[in-house]
Structure 1
């Protein structure tokens, strides 16, 4: 249908209803979680018992409630998740950038097979990926211990293995993001700089990487958020130091309180702030059109 022609009323109303239902489905659960972070009750669900900030600020002295800002275990798990996400982000963006150059700039036998194989982690369920990494790493650690008497602790369940497991598939997403922008790069700019006497390192530092920077920043933000909220793979590989998602899962099984709603609300606000920051940065970098 030509966009300028009037559409039937049924089609217009049907599209509007679909969009409304979609956004209701998307945001109503988030709104409920956010609202009941302020519920004056010991459970995180309806009915509403009144407004309180206990689940953020209480030190546990009053009604026995411990708010988020005084919950050392929760705050520690947030720090662990941030630490893991930072390392996963650095590794994913670094390796993803190298992979993007490898796949976009070089031709070699088996390139297509390598590209397809690198996409495999995206279609493997997180639980299966975690179990596979755990089994493989444990066998390597046991072999090293039995044959050489070397204890490879980083191959045992723990944060290094969590970082490795998350990196396996997040690096693939970073590769796709950065390669898509590198594919649109005008290589004549590099050739002109080389003709003018610039070294390849200077060309990379002053021309190519500045062009890739927006996609690298976007890949970094996406990698950090995906790592921070990951549960399936992390659950299979975690040791004694539990990241936030694993700790929240354990508390939900024991009996949740609205402090988990408070954590969820802060994470939603942080994610929204990061998304708005990236959108603002993208808008500031967009050409003015003059």
Structure 2
């Protein structure tokens, strides 16, 4: 639509109605969740019983335990952070290797490899989790039968959750880093070679600094995707439940507004990370 062409009142009204309805659809559920994090009631739903901060700061003395004093939440948060950091680091490393493999080399089956690398993105998370669980369980059982040693890390737990998340997040980091590497001016590399630089010196002083925004962006995306993942994580988790699985368990057993408080904190952290990424992008574009 060309902005300079006059539009009828009906068109403008329909467009405004669509925009308002779209944003209401997006934000009203979030606003409701945030509002009832401060509701002075034992359940996260209407009616409104008054304002309180108990669901954040209550220490358990009034039969209420807030977010910052709930040991189970803090433990599951620590598990989620450990998994998210591990997934981010490994996924960025694998994504960087994959990006160089796909963009700097030519070999038979390269196109097929590129397509196969994207398959985890279109497989439902539950199916991916079940597949990895079945494969690792069979490997663990075979290893135990063969050697008598039980590889516990292949059983449901944080290690298996990390492996499962990497299986699809590495594809996303690969796409992010490949897009940046594809725009790299190879003449800079050739000039450095002509001036006597080694391959490692070029990699460390020219290519990696150029890829730095993509590496940082890929790491943040991987962290957020790992931290909020539920489908794959639920199928692979053991007794050490990450935050998303723990919240799901509480919702099944009858949730309190502590769940709303957790949701509010996650929204704030995610918003801050996205804001930080946008600020870095604006700074790099200048």
Aligned to 1:108: 107
Aligned to 1:40: 40
Separation (CA, whole Å) in 2 of partners of 1:65 and 1:93: 41
Aligned to 1:2: 2
Question: TM-score, with normalisation over the residues of structure 1?
Answer: 0.96
Structure 1 SS opposite 2:36: helix
Question: TM-score, with normalisation over the residues of structure 2?
Answer: 0.98
What are the within-5 Å matches in structure 2 for residues 1-290 of structure 1? Answer: 1-62=1-62, 64-287=63-286
Shift of 1:222: 0.7
Separation (CA, whole Å) in 2 of partners of 1:82 and 1:269: 16
Separation (CA, whole Å) in 1 of partners of 2:135 and 2:58: 45
Separation (CA, whole Å) in 2 of partners of 1:92 and 1:13: 46
Shift of 1:10: 2.5
Which has the higher mean CA deviation after the structures are superposed, 144-153 or 240-249? 144-153
Separation (CA, whole Å) in 2 of partners of 1:284 and 1:217: 13
Which has the higher mean CA deviation after the structures are superposed, 7-16 or 37-46? 7-16
Separation (CA, whole Å) in 2 of partners of 1:196 and 1:15: 59
Separation (CA, whole Å) in 1 of partners of 2:226 and 2:235: 14
Aligned length: 286
- RMSD of Structure 2 on Structure 1 (CA): 1.0
Separation (CA, whole Å) in 2 of partners of 1:42 and 1:178: 47
Deviations 1:80-130 (A, max 9, x none): 101000000001101001101111111000000011011110010000000
Shift of 1:23: 1.0
Separation (CA, whole Å) in 1 of partners of 2:267 and 2:149: 44
Separation (CA, whole Å) in 1 of partners of 2:32 and 2:205: 48
Shift of 1:283: 1.4
Separation (CA, whole Å) in 1 of partners of 2:244 and 2:12: 41
Separation (CA, whole Å) in 2 of partners of 1:69 and 1:80: 16
Shift of 1:278: 1.1
Structure 1 SS opposite 2:65: coil
Structure 2 SS opposite 1:119: helix
Structure 2 SS opposite 1:51: coil
Structure 2 SS opposite 1:100: helix
Separation (CA, whole Å) in 1 of partners of 2:182 and 2:218: 16
Shift of 1:208: 0.8
Separation (CA, whole Å) in 2 of partners of 1:80 and 1:67: 19
Structure 1 residues without counterparts, runs of 5 or longer: none
Structure 2 SS opposite 1:84: helix
